[in-house]
Amino acid sequence: MMLQAAGRRLTGYVLLYISWFLKSCLFLYLPVYHIKVTGGSSGIGKCIAIECYKQGAFITLVARNEERLLQAKKEIEKHCINDKQVVLCISVDVSQDYSQVENVIKQAQEKLGPVDMLVNCAGMSISGKFEDLEVSTFEKLMSINYLGSVYPSRAVITTMKERRVGRIVFLASQAGQVGLFGFTAYSSSKFAIKGLAEALQMEVKPYNVYVTVAYPPDTDTPGFAEENKTKPLETRLISETTSICTPEQVAKQIVKDAIQGNFNSSVGSDGYMLSSLTCGMSPVTSITEGLQQVVTMGLFRMISLFYLGSFDNIIRRCMIERAKYGTADKTA
Ligand SMILES: NC(=O)c1ccc[n+]([C@@H]2O[C@H](COP(=O)([O-])OP(=O)(O)OC[C@H]3O[C@@H](n4cnc5c(N)ncnc54)[C@H](OP(=O)(O)O)[C@@H]3O)[C@@H](O)[C@H]2O)c1
């Protein structure tokens, strides 16, 4: 009796593994698909658009500044692989008015067909100590980083579910996996993305729609350069404990993970460690990924304690230096 039950359970696991394996083979084949990238006129978003265009996709770029949109369009078009490919530009603020976002997405779908992959890349970071940040900064970051991802996703999801195909990519950040000094406003807006993505994935998985959350490390983009201008010294020193990636490197990984329907997308060994460490109850794409998380969790937690200790030291050292030299306790 017990042997039979164990056999049945084993067969169940094998079938589950086979279905996972088959699913991972059902990649979204990119050529002639319509990819919409919000924040596609700069940095990571622009590189994602180029990466998809190189694979034959039709692109809709969304951002506010029309001039930068047109510049990005020209740059992307250099990577064309066939003369049917189109880059469409839409100027809209994705964080303000849902009906406006819905309208422009409708217009883009009328021109290029239904959106197969939406990449929510529009976003920004403002850092500073909690008490130094304006209250309006918390509202602004929540609006751009969180609502600016909710609105476009909400506008495409019904069609994706009806067609039973689609990918939605959210750009979180490593600061959306671990709360860091100076990022009280930014980290919370990126943590919100993870909750949104996990809940949405559970709803849309039966419709063959897959959600990917990307957790890029510091990446050399115009947005990052802007953020660095006001970063507190502590935040900058903590940042310097890891290396900076290129937007091309990050974009390549995100596109690959999105095509494969992977829930987590991270770059480098730090990224892999953080994603395993903070996976919680997030979905897994394969049994192998789940097993890796189970096996590595304890070890990674131990390594993370060393990191946290070194961050505490950085913060303490900054306080001592400031007390010694009487530097203003605001930014570097
Ligand atoms: N760079 C990093 O180190 C890093 C690390 C982790 C995560 N991330 C995340 O990755 C994403 C891209 O970052 P990035 O560094 O590539 O940024 P970026 O170079 O500053 O580009 C941001 C893009 O978003 C657009 N945008 C901003 N606000 C918008 C709005 N309200 N409506 C429509 N478009 C808007 C910008 O165009 P307009 O200004 O013309 O609208 C631009 O195209 C962000 O979500 C960021 O938080 C970045």
pLDDT in tens, 4-13: 777 777 776 6
| Confidence class for position 26, pLDDT limits 50, 70, 90 | low
The Cα 226–Cα 125 span in angstroms is: 9
pLDDT bracket for residue 328 (50, 70, 90): low
Residue 111 contacts residue 88 (beta carbons within 8 Å)? yes
Extract the runs of DSSP E, i.e. beta strands, from 166-306. 166-171, 209-214, 264-265
Ligand 1 pocket check for 49: Cβ under 6 Å: no
Query: With 80 as the cut, is the pLDDT of residue 95 above it?
Result: yes
Q: Is 144 in the pocket of ligand 1 (CB under 6 A)?
A: yes
Residue with tokens 């100076």: 182
**Alpha carbon 179 to chain centroid distance?**
16
Domains in the chain (CATH in brackets) are 30-297 (3.40.50.720)
Ligand 1 atom, smallest distance to 222 CA: 19
Query: Are 225 and 249 within 8 A, CB to CB?
Result: no
Answer yes or no: is pLDDT of 332 > 50.
no
Residue 243 phi, psi dihedral angles, 5° rounding: -90, 160
What's the 2 CA to ligand 1 centre distance in angstroms? 57
274 pLDDT band (50/70/90 cuts)?
very high
Report pLDDT digits (tens) over 170-194: 999 999 999 999 999 999 999 999 9
> pLDDT value at position 325?
78
Q: Write down the pLDDT at residue 11.
A: 76
Kindly report, residue by residue over 44-63, the tens digit of the pLDDT: 999 999 999 999 999 999 99
Which tokens sit at 276?
């395993």
Q: Does the C-beta of 261 come closer than 6 Å to ligand 1?
A: no
What's the angle, vertex CA 99, arms to CA 93 and CA 104, rounded to 5? 60
* Termini Cα distance of the chain: 70
Please tell me if the CB atom of residue 176 comes closer than 6 angstroms to any atom of ligand 1: no
| DSSP classification of residue 299 | H
